Amino acid sequence: MSVSKRLTVERFSPKFDPLLIAQLFRRLEDHQATDLSDETWDRGTPSGWLDQLVADWRAFDVPALERSISEFDHFQVQVDSTSIHVVVELGSGSSPLPIILTHGWPGSFMEYLKLIAMLAHPENFGGDPDESFTVVVPSLPGFGFSGPPREGGFTYGEVAELWNEVMTSGLGFDSYVAHGSDLGAGVTARLARAHPFQVAAIHLATPGMPIPPKPWSPGMTEHFREVEVWTSEEGGYMHVQSTKPSTIGAALADSPVGLASWIGEKAMAWSDTDEYGNCTFDRELLLSTLTLYWATRTGASSLLPYWRYRHTPNSALKADDVGPTPVAVSLFGGERVPFPKPPRELAARYFNLSSWIEYDSGGHFPAISDPSLLAKSLRQAFRHFRTSK
């Protein structure tokens, strides 16, 4: 254990409450199949697909999940009144580069478990141990084994301050690099802006960016039009979570089937697909994620970042104030329901771009769909910063 004036770090053994797991399986046994005949995704989660997911969840091996995640080193970092769950994997080689990976919604630390080994021990995957990372994976406040956020949740910037405390005061790194996707991209962008002397560089996977003041290039104008169309067709979840999270949160907290439908639909829509058209979001990981959300009672609190962002004035990134920290951006494609890819000139108004790569695969969850591709992208993005800082 290490202690500072306002921070403690203690080892942690992740376990699920057996009473909550027993309750989960009772609820799943009581599931009544829906009567809807529609088996397409056009109106949301198909009833037959959901019924099969519930059947698979009833057969899910929770003790095996506990054993699997316990293979990693877990810590609880207490920063003032906020408790953050963190996975830490020390890298191989003579000088591993510290990196913090931040997940989004509906994700968790578990989406990075395959990637951790690739980054920390590249020699086990045909790589060079001198390109290893010491990997830190926190759970966002209100997600999984992290403690609850304050009422109304945290802003991206406030989470970034927690992350810097974890990395510097908690784990003792003078400088580090960072990666984020989805909500994690928002946190990581603020981390770079607020702490350029500690954060050597960042990597963002398909970041969202607000509409900047004009002038706009033709590519930007077209992108904003495409985003408007996507939002009207696919953004209902975001509107609900940013306006009335407690309403849907009550359903997610009370009904495992409701949780499975709400999260499962997004996992399928945003994932890459293989050559046969099958979703690449691993089924076991989906069931693990659902179990984590249910057993930690965080289905409702995981929605709060959306509400906090919408209800915090001036919370968006400022355009044309990129800051000094180098930013690598990777755009991953292949989703069943793709989000419009932003043009590079839009990103250049928000970030000090060091690289820009577009892939046809990987989807919204590249750490799940193709962790080796994401590992390659991260090694390329941060190779220079092993010697320059």
CB 287, CB 60: distance < 8 Å: yes
Give me the pLDDT at residue 1, please: 41
Q: What is the DSSP letter of 272?
A: B
Q: How many residues does the chain have?
A: 389
CB 198, CB 168: distance < 8 Å: yes
d(C-alpha 351, C-alpha 329), whole Å: 9
Give me the pLDDT at residue 36, please: 67
d(C-alpha 128, C-alpha 44), whole Å: 45
Q: Which residues contact 11 (CB under 8 A, 6 or more apart)?
A: 1, 73, 74, 75
pLDDT tens digit at each of 389 positions of the chain: 444 458 999 999 999 999 999 999 999 999 888 776 667 888 899 999 999 999 999 999 999 999 999 999 999 999 999 999 999 999 998 899 999 999 999 999 999 999 999 999 999 999 999 999 999 999 999 999 999 999 999 999 999 999 999 999 999 999 999 999 999 999 999 999 999 999 999 999 989 899 999 999 999 999 999 999 999 999 999 999 999 999 999 999 999 999 999 999 999 999 998 877 788 899 999 999 999 999 999 999 999 999 999 999 999 999 999 999 999 999 999 999 999 999 999 999 999 999 999 999 999 999 999 999 999 999 999 999 986 43
d(C-alpha 153, C-alpha 139), whole Å: 14
Give me the pLDDT at residue 206, please: 86
Give me the pLDDT at residue 73, please: 98
Q: Which residues contact 73 (CB under 8 A, 6 or more apart)?
A: 11, 87, 88, 89
Q: Which two tokens stand for residue 111?
A: 């989406």
Give me the pLDDT at residue 80, please: 95
Domains of the chain and any CATH numbers: 2-29+43-388 (3.40.50.1820)
